[in-house]
Structure 1
Amino acid sequence: MSESGSESELEPPQNEASKGTVVVTTMASDSHTWNLVFLQLLIEELGYDVVNLGPCVPDDLLVRECRDIAPEMVVISSVNGHGYQDGMRVISRLRAVDDLAATPMVIGGKLGIAGGEDAAHIEELMAAGFDGVFQDGVSGVADFRKFIETAPAKGRELAAASERRRLSAANASG
């Protein structure tokens, strides 16, 4: 916390070499933490600061923190097998926030309780608004690393294009 006491305790210190901030979280039903620690270390190794929201994160808290932090990316991890169900619910809430519309968001881990869920789960999560889906046993760490190395630039491009459209529409109507 800063001397003024106004800085959020969840905001990481920004170092000069940082590529930005990534939010790492589970969802309300998932109490696992080891996955979050692994993800945090991996993402930090790739040059990002990480805000780790921890386990059992209620939807409202996740949305509020992502809106306040304005991260380069949001990474949601599931170990309890409810990733598909919880992911479908939470992505619409995150995407409904204008400031997060172009933010890259991924979900990974155990997406269902049976394991080895079919490709329909992945396709549905992508169609609902996730930019990447990394299912246990299907996608590996190398796939995730590759995504992280390219996704924020794509998100910034989408945000810039959206801002240009907004300004163009405002100029046309004004």
Structure 2
Amino acid sequence: MNAELVVDAGRRLEVIVTTVSSDAHTWNLVYLQLLLEELGCRVTNLGACTPDETILRECRLRRPDLLVVSSVNGHGGQEGLRLIEALRDRPELVATPVVIGGKLDVVGGGAGSTAAALLAAGFDAVFDDGAGLTSFRSFVRALPARAGAAIGAP
């Protein structure tokens, strides 16, 4: 078993996994939850078609170490912009690490410009459909170190 990602004495990395409000897919969320749990994270899965306000409420209540937004239907880029704007407008959530990934546009071939727009809007990282999971795993593993905490079992 992998060492748990610990952010401070005895507390595992808290992650919220969700999708955008128009995306009814759940298999991607289950996969991400299992992957993050394998990395030692404690995961709250908000499920499919999650309204922005629900995501914001859960982030205010849970204060996650990471919010992961996944999209399969191709509307992640458009709806992700709306979500990150709402999240970054709240002072208590402005520093929350937020990533988005999956199929981010319906046009195809626009991954570079979509990713650039999402990063400029406030996402900490963008993982497009064809990138694989290596960079996502590396990002998650680096979170405790960025917070000045150690990685290891509590």
Give the TM bin, normalised by the shorter chain.
Answer: 0.7 to 0.9
**Between Structure 1 and Structure 2, whose CA radius of gyration is higher?**
1
Specify the code of the residue in structure 2 equivalent to 1:53.
L
What CA distance in whole angstroms lies between the structure 1 residues aligned with 2:27 and 2:78? 21
Specify the code of the residue in structure 1 equivalent to 2:142.
T
Q: TM-score, normalised by structure 1?
A: 0.76
2:64 to 50, 59, 71: 71
Is contact 1:67–1:97 with CA below 8 Å preserved after alignment?
Answer: no
Partner of 1:150: 142
Is contact 2:105–2:111 with CA below 8 Å preserved after alignment?
Answer: no
Superposed displacement of residue 73, structure 1: 0.2
Partner of 1:91: 84
What CA distance in whole angstroms lies between the structure 1 residues aligned with 2:21 and 2:121? 19
Partner of 1:160: none
What CA distance in whole angstroms lies between the structure 2 residues aligned with 1:76 and 1:93? 14
Deviations 1:11-32 (A, max 9, x none): xxxxx96522100000110000
Q: TM-score, normalised by structure 2?
A: 0.85
Trace 1:119-130 onto structure 2 (pairs within 5 A).
Answer: 119-130=112-123
Superposed displacement of residue 98, structure 1: 1.7
What CA distance in whole angstroms lies between the structure 1 residues aligned with 2:11 and 2:29? 19
Deviations 1:94-133 (A, max 9, x none): 1122222111100000001123324111111001000000
How many equivalent residue pairs?
140
Q: Higher helix proportion, which one? A: 1
Higher relative contact order (CA 8 A, sep 6+): 2
1:50 paired with 2:43, answer yes
2:129 to 113, 119, 136: 136
Q: Secondary structure at the match of 1:127?
A: helix
Is contact 1:18–1:49 with CA below 8 Å preserved after alignment?
Answer: no
Deviations 1:45-70 (A, max 9, x none): 11110000000000111101111010
Q: Would the alpha carbon gap of residues 140 and 18 (structure 1) be closer, same or farther in structure 2, given more than 3 Å must change?
A: farther
Q: Higher strand proportion, which one? A: 2
What CA distance in whole angstroms lies between the structure 1 residues aligned with 2:41 and 2:129? 24
What CA distance in whole angstroms lies between the structure 1 residues aligned with 2:86 and 2:145? 23
Percent of paired sites with the same residue: 53
Query: Which aligned runs of 4 or more in structure 1 are off by greater than 3 angstroms?
Result: none
Q: Would the alpha carbon gap of residues 41 and 133 (structure 1) be closer, same or farther in structure 2, given more than 3 Å must change?
A: same
